[in-house]
């Protein structure tokens, strides 16, 4: 395959903004009308809007075509490989979607229907505890970052209960940006820790930095270079001797499940990303789910409500745990994502879970081996489920990581995670996952090699890439300067009236 | 079922290329004592049919429960579009050239939400209404240096609890509650006035319709708030926007809450759809993702995530929030829902909710059963229900609302009853039978 220079992009592919399709009287929806419409009394009248809500007025056919056309402008796992490092874009089983839809109509106030669901959630807690080797779990955090924040609040609460006012949380420089941001909101000061030349945090570095103000270390394992934190045992000992906690960001748990358990490595508190490791869909940004797991010592601080069993063996939600950090969500977390996870775990069973981790590491290592001659590999420490390459060689020819990312789109692939981790210049972080067919992997490797070839032969060609996508390279600076964030702003900022 | 695509032969081919003999060789960087030497104690694998029958639960026959999470009619179009796998299995739209679908949907959602609220900007959504309110408090503290957060006591109790959880670690910040009038169920305006005058550096938040379903006297509240440093309106039943004045007309700094009612089922408690709308002056201090209009290299319309300089992946510990997701699928459902029901459909649904509540209130009135509060309601109200009635309801497969006395001990035996277009006149009569 070659880069398709001859492709012309059709403007018809683009779709007008929904308001511009609107015209009075086109919408003929017929919602249920079980009640006779009652004229609202005088007491209500001042509160009633005389104008109808300002929504687009379009027919059902137009709605369906509009959104179906928009869907075709997206890349998706179901269209091809999505090798975003640390995002674990694996196949999302369809049975999970069907299972989640089954609980759609249940209101959490429906205590009878919730009995069954609380029982299922209780099983899920047990499964996640088993996978992580931890003692207790909360399922309510609605995303990975929400889980991190919950974990940091738990550690903060533990400090308060101990009568200590430790302020610092140590975070390796390879960490996700959410780690320091979550620390700040929980009231800690994030302190950056350099990872060494080998690409992992060395115990000797920690020994120099640790002090009595350190509440915790927040570590991602394997880290965002795909490298297992080999000093983890010594690190956890150092922390515990110092009265500090070891927090693990479980973003990369796909490499470890069924292989090794964080709880046994001395982790006190961690979160999982169910939308990564446990195959629930990303849905264009959410909803995710970020359960937090802890050791017994931290269990009293878990957020409420707690799923408990009463004397009659009925499940109920406990809302008055005295030492809990409180509530973190107004419903029960992202229940449908939890159901998808339970479905996924049930599909695989214990052995299948381990196989997923093994194959994800096998494929990633194969890809690394095939690509490391064409692209610079900044660390030669063995890696697990993902690895980082850079544009060092291509940059000498004027071709950057961003160019390589955009060129991959013309080969029908989503690019890897780019320019992250920050410690690596021009990083490309590649995570293929276990569900990719070997043919797709070979095609990706081939595409990467062809892109390298093109950087030698015709580096100038990259300026007009991508060509096979619905739009050409998007001007993000223009967007940030003008800030046109709604249809109404199209008129006020750009001087063009929104037509409808 | 395994979702691994490699067969044994392919696995072995990769082993050979890597010069290893088994998968154990891939994990040599993990200290041996941490390697799990047994299988995980997790049952399975199960087939799809078994999974489906294991993981299900049926709702009760008649449900009058709401209180922040609502059952509403969802047009078939919503499920059809939301199950398009191009939306369902895509990632956060960091690469705009191949994410225009998701990006434009979010832009349209932002456009519809701001027009419904009469506010300038909306972010691409938050986890739920409670965390949206907590983020609004954090923004008030950041942008206006407020030292005290005043929450109307008739804001959803779960929301208030979440706010306290989020704000606990901020030194020197006070979180106080403004009581409600025990007769009307509306905010106590005198207390509010005094509290606002006492401390200029306060931020005040009020929910309308409030947790008791009662519509707050917003004109009076707005006039008290004229000199406030910061104030916000919370909306948890988004369907109310189909009939009530847009909250932005009262001049708040933020309107936050939950839009789950727009095309998202209750799903036993989530996912929900937190929304966050604010004024233009706060764009740079607001949390969450934003999608902006732009152009591509050839000058065509395009969309992309913008103002990432506020966000955690750029600013790390100095970010406006740690949030790194939006409720993408829920946003999609809301956008498709609002486009499908349109202006008259949303008005009709809101009228049906209000009419249903009034129908049930009239039935109760004829029986001499009065509500706990006298204030005007949208589609929810508070009743006293004794244990006997609760027991009869449960036996009849009826969920007579949700208990609220746990959060308001002064309101003994109180129950919040919610009527939507999913109920019927017959449901109301059944409920009356058990009272």
Query: What span, in angstroms and rounded, lies between the C-alpha atoms of B9 and A441?
Result: 16
Q: Does A143 touch chain B (CB under 8 A)?
A: yes
**Contact: B68, A53; criterion CB under 8 Å:** no
Q: Please, what's the largest Cα pairwise distance for chain A?
A: 78
Q: Which residue has the higher pLDDT, A69 or B169?
A: A69
**Contact: B99, A74; criterion CB under 8 Å:** yes
Interface test with A, best of B23, B97, B186 (most A CBs within 10 A): B97
**Contact: B104, A17; criterion CB under 8 Å:** yes
Interface contacts A/B by beta carbons within 8 Å: 693
**Contact: A303, B93; criterion CB under 8 Å:** no
The answer, yes or no, to whether residue A14 has pLDDT greater than 90, is no
Beta strand B148-152 with B202-207 is parallel
Q: Write out pLDDT tens, residues A278-322.
A: 999 999 999 999 999 999 999 999 999 999 999 999 999 999 999
Query: What span, in angstroms and rounded, lies between the C-alpha atoms of B310 and A36?
Result: 49
* Secondary structure letter of residue B377 according to DSSP: B
CB contacts of A11 in chain B (<8 Å) are 300
CB contacts of B138 in chain A (<8 Å) are 185
Least confident of A164-168, A267-271, A368-372, A490-494: A490-494
Query: What span, in angstroms and rounded, lies between the C-alpha atoms of A163 and B71?
Result: 45
Query: What span, in angstroms and rounded, lies between the C-alpha atoms of A303 and A307?
Result: 11
**Lookup: tokens for A19:** 């308001």
CB contacts of B129 in chain A (<8 Å) are 330
**Contact: A483, B60; criterion CB under 8 Å:** no
Which residues touch B421 (CB under 8 Å, ≥6 apart)?
A31, A32, A33, A34, A35, B72, B73, B349, B352, B353, B356
Closest CA in chain B for residue A433: B4
Q: Write out pLDDT tens, residues B356-385.
A: 999 999 999 999 999 999 999 999 999 999
How many Cβ atoms from other residues are within 10 Å of residue B47's Cβ?
12
The C-alpha angle with vertex B302 and arms to B299 and B308, in degrees rounded to 5, equals: 115
**Contact: B55, A99; criterion CB under 8 Å:** yes
Class of domain A94-346: alpha beta
Closest CA in chain B for residue A120: B55
In CATH terms, the fold of domain B344-434 is: 3.90.1150
Closest CA in chain A for residue B318: A181
Query: What span, in angstroms and rounded, lies between the C-alpha atoms of B325 and A276?
Result: 13
Q: Which of B44, B161, B323 sits opposite A327 (nearest CB)?
A: B161
Q: Does A61 touch chain B (CB under 8 A)?
A: no
Residue A41: the pLDDT is 63
As a dihedral over the C-alpha atoms of residue B85, residue B86, residue B89, residue B92, rounded to 10 degrees, the angle is: -150
The C-alpha angle with vertex B40 and arms to B39 and B44, in degrees rounded to 5, equals: 95
Interface test with B, best of A52, A53, A99 (most B CBs within 10 A): A53
The answer, yes or no, to whether residue A43 has pLDDT greater than 60, is no
Q: Which of B59, B306, B342 sits opposite A483 (nearest CB)?
A: B306
Smallest CA–CA distance, residue A344 to chain B, in Å, is 9
**Contact: A345, B339; criterion CB under 8 Å:** no
Smallest CA–CA distance, residue B304 to chain A, in Å, is 7
Which residues touch B37 (CB under 8 Å, ≥6 apart)?
none
Q: Report chain B's mean pLDDT, rounded to a whole number.
A: 95
Q: What is the 3-state secondary structure (H, E, C) of chain A?
A: CCCCCCCCCCHHHCCCCHHHHCCCCCCCCCCCCCCCCCCCCCCCHHHECCCCCCCCCCCHHHHHHHHHHHHCCECCHHHCCCCECCCCCCCCCHHHHHHHHHCCCCCCCCHHHHHHHHHHHHHHHHHHHHHHCCCEEECCCCCHHHHHHHHHHHHHHHHHHCCCCCCEEEEECCCCCHHHHHHHHCCCEEEEECCCCCCCCCHHHHHHHCCCCEEEEEEECCCCCCCCCCCHHHHHHHHHHCCCEEEEEECCHHHCCCCECHHHHCCCEEEECHHHHCCCCCCCCCCCCCCEEECHHHHHHCCECEEEECCCCCEEEECCCCCCCCECCCCCCCHHHHHHHHHHHHHHHHHHHHHHHHHHHHHHHHHHHHHCCCCECCCCCCCCCCEEEECHHHHCCCCCHHHHHHHHHHCCCCCCEECCCCCCCCEEEECCCCCCCHHHHHHHHHHHHHHHHHHHHCHHHHHHCCCCCCCCCECHHHHHHHCCCCHHHHHHHHCCCCCC
Q: Where are the domains of chain B?
A: 8-54, 76-337, 344-434
Nearest partner of A124 among A344, A357, A352, A353, judged by Cα: A344
Return the top range by mean pLDDT from A349-358, B197-206, B301-310: A349-358
Q: Where are the domains of chain A?
A: 94-346
Q: Which residue has the higher pLDDT, B20 or A11?
A: B20
Q: Write out pLDDT tens, residues B171-187.
A: 899 999 999 999 999 99
Closest CA in chain A for residue B325: A285
Evaluate whether A221 touches A247 at the Cβ level (below 8 Å).
no
Smallest CA–CA distance, residue A251 to chain B, in Å, is 13
**Contact: A358, B306; criterion CB under 8 Å:** no
- pLDDT confidence tier of residue B314, bands split at 50, 70 and 90: confident
Q: Which of B2, B17, B28 sits opposite A369 (nearest CB)?
A: B17
The residue-averaged pLDDT of A119-140 equals 98
235-274 of A, contacting B, C-beta below 8 A? 257-261, 264-265
The answer, yes or no, to whether residue A8 has pLDDT greater than 70, is no
CB contacts of A436 in chain B (<8 Å) are 5
Query: What span, in angstroms and rounded, lies between the C-alpha atoms of B94 and B103?
Result: 9
Smallest CA–CA distance, residue B127 to chain A, in Å, is 6
Query: What span, in angstroms and rounded, lies between the C-alpha atoms of B377 and B359?
Result: 12
Burial of A265 (0-12, 13-18, 19+ CB in 10 A): buried
Q: Does A473 touch chain B (CB under 8 A)?
A: yes
Task: Using DSSP, state whether B281 is helix, strand or coil.
Answer: helix
Closest CA in chain B for residue A234: B31
Residue B309: the pLDDT is 83
Evaluate whether A104 touches B266 at the Cβ level (below 8 Å).
yes
Q: Write out pLDDT tens, residues A476-488.
A: 999 999 999 999 9
Q: Does A398 touch chain B (CB under 8 A)?
A: no
The answer, yes or no, to whether residue A180 has pLDDT greater than 70, is yes
Task: Using DSSP, state whether B294 is helix, strand or coil.
Answer: strand
Nearest partner of B187 among B171, B205, B169, judged by Cα: B205
CB contacts of A283 in chain B (<8 Å) are 87-90, 328-329, 332
Residue B320: the pLDDT is 86
Q: Write out pLDDT tens, residues B90-109.
A: 999 999 999 999 999 999 99
The residue-averaged pLDDT of B383-392 equals 92
CB contacts of A479 in chain B (<8 Å) are 292-294, 303-304, 306
Task: Using DSSP, state whether B295 is helix, strand or coil.
Answer: strand
ipTM associated with this complex: 0.97
Give the Å distances, CA to CA, from A384 to A261, A408, B28, B343, B352: 15, 23, 10, 53, 57
Q: Which of B306, B314, B322 sits opposite A148 (nearest CB)?
A: B322
Nearest partner of A282 among B189, B88, B231, judged by Cα: B88
Out of 3.30.70.60, 3.20.20.70, 3.30.230.10, 3.40.640.10, select the CATH number for domain B76-337: 3.40.640.10
- pLDDT confidence tier of residue A13, bands split at 50, 70 and 90: low
Q: Which of B90, B296, B324 sits opposite A145 (nearest CB)?
A: B324
Q: Does A23 touch chain B (CB under 8 A)?
A: no
CB contacts of B71 in chain A (<8 Å) are 105, 107
Q: Which of A48, A183, A435 sits opposite B244 (nearest CB)?
A: A48
Residue A50: the pLDDT is 83
Query: What span, in angstroms and rounded, lies between the C-alpha atoms of A287 and B15?
Result: 37
197-226 of A, contacting B, C-beta below 8 A? none
How many Cβ atoms from other residues are within 10 Å of residue A327's Cβ?
22
Residue A4: the pLDDT is 42
The residue-averaged pLDDT of A101-124 equals 96
The percent of residues in chain A predicted with pLDDT above 90, rounded, is 91
- pLDDT confidence tier of residue B26, bands split at 50, 70 and 90: very high
Query: What span, in angstroms and rounded, lies between the C-alpha atoms of B162 and A154?
Result: 14
């Amino acid at each position: 395959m070659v880069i398709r220079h001859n492709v012309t992009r059709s403007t018809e592919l683009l779709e007008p903004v929904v308001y511009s399709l609107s015209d009075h009287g086109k919408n003929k929806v017929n919602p249920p009308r079980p009640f006779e419409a009652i004229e609202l009394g005088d007491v209500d009248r001042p509160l009633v809007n005389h104008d109808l809500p300002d929504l687009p007025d379009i027919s059902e056919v137009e709605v369906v075509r509009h959104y179906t056309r928009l869907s075709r402008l997206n890349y998706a796992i179901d269209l091809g490989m999505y090798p975003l490092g640390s995002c674990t874009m694996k196949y999302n089983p369809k049975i999970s979607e069907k299972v989640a839809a089954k609980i759609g109509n249940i209101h959490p106030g429906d205590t009878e229907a919730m009995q069954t669901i609380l029982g299922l959630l209780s099983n899920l807690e047990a499964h996640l505890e088993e996978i992580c080797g931890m003692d207790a779990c909360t399922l309510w955090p609605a995303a990975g970052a929400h889980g991190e924040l919950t974990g940091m609040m738990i550690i903060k609460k533990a400090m308060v209960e101990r009568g200590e006012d430790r302020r610092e949380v140590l975070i390796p420089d390879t960490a996700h940006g959410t780690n320091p941001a979550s620390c700040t909101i929980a009231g800690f000061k994030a302190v950056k820790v350099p990872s060494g030349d080998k690409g992992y945090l060395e115990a000797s570095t920690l020994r120099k930095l640790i002090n009595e103000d350190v509440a915790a270390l927040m570590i991602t394992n394997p880290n965002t270079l795909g490298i297992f934190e080999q000093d983890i045992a010594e690190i956890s000992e150092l922390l515990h001797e110092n009265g500090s906690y070891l927090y693990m960001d479980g973003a990369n748990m796909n490499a470890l499940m069924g292989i090794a358990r964080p709880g046994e490595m001395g982790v006190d508190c961690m979160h999982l990303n169910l939308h990564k490791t446990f195959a629930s869909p990303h849905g264009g940004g959410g909803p995710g789910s970020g359960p937090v797991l802890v050791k017994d010592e931290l269990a009293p601080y878990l957020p409420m409500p707690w799923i408990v069993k009463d004397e009659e063996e009925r499940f109920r939600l406990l809302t008055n745990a005295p030492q809990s950090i409180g509530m973190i969500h107004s419903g029960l977390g992202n229940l449908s994502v939890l159901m998808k996870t339970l479905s996924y775990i049930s599909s695989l069973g214990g052995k299948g879970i381990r196989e997923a981790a093994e194959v994800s590491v096998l494929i990633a290592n194969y890809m690394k081996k095939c690509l490391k001659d064409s692209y610079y590999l900044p660390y030669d420490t063995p890696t697990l489920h993902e690895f980082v390459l850079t544009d060092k060689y291509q940059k000498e020819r004027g071709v950057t990581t961003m160019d390589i990312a955009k060129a991959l789109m013309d080969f029908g692939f989503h690019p890897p995670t780019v320019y992250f981790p920050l410690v690596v210049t021009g990083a490309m972080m590649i995570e293929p996952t276990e569900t990719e067919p070997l043919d797709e992997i070979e095609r990706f490797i081939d595409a990467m090699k062809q892109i390298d070839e093109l950087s030698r032969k015709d580096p100038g060609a990259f300026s007009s890439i991508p060509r096979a996508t619905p739009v050409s390279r998007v001007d993000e600076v223009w967007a940030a300067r003008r800030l046109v964030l709604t249809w109404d702003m199209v008129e006020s900022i750009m001087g063009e009236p929104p037509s409808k | 079922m395994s979702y691994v695509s490699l067969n044994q032969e392919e696995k072995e081919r990769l082993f050979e290329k890597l010069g290893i003999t088994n998968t154990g060789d891939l994990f040599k960087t993990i200290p041996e004592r941490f390697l799990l030497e047994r299988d995980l104690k997790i049952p399975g694998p199960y087939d799809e049919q078994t999974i489906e029958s294991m993981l299900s639960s049926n709702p009760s026959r008649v449900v009058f429960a709401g209180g922040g999470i609502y059952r509403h009619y969802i047009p078939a179009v919503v499920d059809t579009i939301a199950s398009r796998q191009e939306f369902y299995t895509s990632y956060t739209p960091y690469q705009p050239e191949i994410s225009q679908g998701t990006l434009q949907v979010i832009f349209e959602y932002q456009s519809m939400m701001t027009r419904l609220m009469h506010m300038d900007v909306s972010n691409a959504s938050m986890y739920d209404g409670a965390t949206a309110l907590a983020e609004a408090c954090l923004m008030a503290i950041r942008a206006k240096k407020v030292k005290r957060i005043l929450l109307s006591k008739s804001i959803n109790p779960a929301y208030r609890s979440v706010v306290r959880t989020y704000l606990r670690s901020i030194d020197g910040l006070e979180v106080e509650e403004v009581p409600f009038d025990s007769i009307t169920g509306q905010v106590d305006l005198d207390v509010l006035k005094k509290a606002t005058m006492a401390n200029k550096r306060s931020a005040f938040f009020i929910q309308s319709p409030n947790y008791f379903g009662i519509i707050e006297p917003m004109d009076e509240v707005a006039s008290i708030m004229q000199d406030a440093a910061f104030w916000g309106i919370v909306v948890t039943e988004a369907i109310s926007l189909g009939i009530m004045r847009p909250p932005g007309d009262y001049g708040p700094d933020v309107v936050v809450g939950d839009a789950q009612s727009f095309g998202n089922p209750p799903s036993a408690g989530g996912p929900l759809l937190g929304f966050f709308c604010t004024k233009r002056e706060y764009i740079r201090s607001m949390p969450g993702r934003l999608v902006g209009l732009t152009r591509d290299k050839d000058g065509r319309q395009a969309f992309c995530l913008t103002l990432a300089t506020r966000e955690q992946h750029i600013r790390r510990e100095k970010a406006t929030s740690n949030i790194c997701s939006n409720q993408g699928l829920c946003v999609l459902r809301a956008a498709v829902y609002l486009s499908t029901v349109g202006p008259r459909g949303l008005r009709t649904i809101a009228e049906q909710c209000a009419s249903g509540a009034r129908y049930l209130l009239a039935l109760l009135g004829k029986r001499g059963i009065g509500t706990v509060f006298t204030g005007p309601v949208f589609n929810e109200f508070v009743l006293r229900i004794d244990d006997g009635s609760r027991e009869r309801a449960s036996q009849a497969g009826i969920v007579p609302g949700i208990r609220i006395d746990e959060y308001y001990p002064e309101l003994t035996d109180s129950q919040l009853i919610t009527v939507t277009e999913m109920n019927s006149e017959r449901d109301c009569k059944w409920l009356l039978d058990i009272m």
